[in-house]
Amino acid sequence: MEQFSVLCWIYILILTLFTIHIDTSRPPIRTNKLVSYSIPDKRLLKQALGFNEDIYLNFTELTTKYKFPTEVHSVTTEDGYVLNIFRILSKCSDRTNSYPVFMMHGLFDTSDMWIIPSTDLGLGYVLATNCYDVWAANGRGNNYSRRHIRLDPNKDPTYWEYSFDETGRYDLPAIIDYILQKTGYPKLFFVGHSQGTTEYFVMGSLRPEYNNKVFLAVQLGPVAWMKYLNNRIAVLLAQNYEVIKDFLESAGYREVFPRQGIVHHIAEFLCQKVPALCELGFTLSTGHKQGTMTLKTISIAIGHLFSGTSIKNLSHFAQLVNSGKFQRYDEGIKGNLQRYGLAKPREYNVSLISSPIVLFSAENDRLSSLKDVDILISKLPNLKENYIVPRPYWSHHNHIWDIAATELVHPKILKYFDNFKNLN
């Protein structure tokens, strides 16, 4: 244990040395100058410390390692954000009937979530093996999609003026149009997790014409209403989000938890050396029951989490918690009048979501409570099923990283896809 402690402090010291360029002399006032607190990705150091290489390999490196042919595509949104999408080609020799599947990740995550920790458990691999044409997207602001036709994410605060409202209104429609144009299909399948589901509900409400471009939407751990959020830490942060937001922005921050941030590196190191500690973090944040995901899975997952998002995005989620409504971003009375023509933001009208939807819910999910899911269910006009995974311990990330997902989640998704293919 003493040897580990020394190693830990050496690692943290090395990482800290890369951050001393930050200007600490700035006065504590709101500034338009962004602070950079990213750290170079030191693979050689990680290799020397014995990291599992799947922790730090990127999407195409992982798919190459596991022999899944992959393409890299770029999509530009209406408001100028440039997004990276990874296409995993069907493993079947005859690809003429490989239906496209658009996969959208959750908060702090990337497309990597669909291909870790293994070819058996990664849903992206499973779908490609079953002859589907997989398109794993990345929303604006994460480490794969930090580009804009005019704005520099490291210099321009305006780049970070977005929440899931913009990703739902602009990112998802642009990606859908691109996939359909490339594949020639009139529709596609959609799979979302966590924030990925939120963005879909936004798109279906604000741009209902896109409902006609989806065969079926599978929503894992759906998040819309957060009135009954069962997470004390998240509720406390939400109640104080304005103070936190003002403090961070006055210090020059607009992005939180970037992939190369010190928080990511320390979490990555601790999860490699003490994975049980990281499992406790999952328990506190999502309701995860210890022992239901392997420690190897958790250590790899943490290596790909903390991939960056905007402070405004987190603030929008905080507003959902505080208001108990699924509504657009509250800019204040003056800002709301300018943006919406109303003193208060409108709620998203999910009754406009006409595309077929299947929800995958969980009894022990602290981020997507069954009570909140029930509110969503009462308003969706074309819900095919709310499948509550029949395990009392099941939580937010068990949908994607629990080994039992190969029996409880994947077959059900494949069956639904097959059924809807036959209908079209």
CATH number at residue 408: 3.40.50.1820
Q: Select which of 365, 368, 372, 399 is catalytic.
A: 365
**Tens of each residue's pLDDT in the chain, 424 residues:** 434 333 343 334 334 333 333 333 343 344 556 655 555 567 777 777 778 899 889 999 999 999 999 999 999 999 999 999 999 999 998 877 899 999 999 999 999 999 999 999 999 999 999 999 999 999 999 999 999 999 999 999 999 999 999 999 999 999 999 999 999 999 999 999 999 999 999 999 999 999 999 999 999 999 999 999 999 989 999 999 999 999 999 999 999 988 777 777 787 888 887 888 888 888 888 888 888 888 889 889 988 988 899 999 999 999 999 999 999 999 999 999 999 999 999 999 999 999 999 999 999 999 999 999 999 999 999 999 999 999 999 999 999 999 999 999 999 999 999 999 888 7
Residue 384's Cβ-side half-sphere holds a number of Cα atoms within 13 Å equal to: 18
**Hey, what amino acid is at 314?**
L
Specify whether the CB–CB gap between 57 and 116 falls below 8 A.
no
Question: How much is the pTM?
Answer: 0.90
Number of domains forming the structure of the chain: 1
The reported pLDDT for the residue numbered 282 is: 80
Pairing status of strand 255-256 against strand 147-148:
unpaired
**Hey, what amino acid is at 246?**
D
The reported pLDDT for the residue numbered 33 is: 60
CB atoms within 10 A of CB 161: 13
Q: Is 365 marked active-site?
A: yes
The reported pLDDT for the residue numbered 141 is: 96
Q: Select which of 38, 145, 163, 194 is catalytic.
A: 194
Of 282, 313, 340, the residue nearest 107 (C-alpha): 313
CB atoms within 10 A of CB 325: 19
Backbone region of residue 71 per phi and psi (left: phi > 0; alpha: psi in -120 to 50; beta: other values): beta
First to last CA, the chain: 60
In a 3-state reduction of DSSP, which class is residue 310? strand
Q: Select which of 105, 288, 396, 397 is catalytic.
A: 396
Domain that holds residue 276: 2-18+27-423
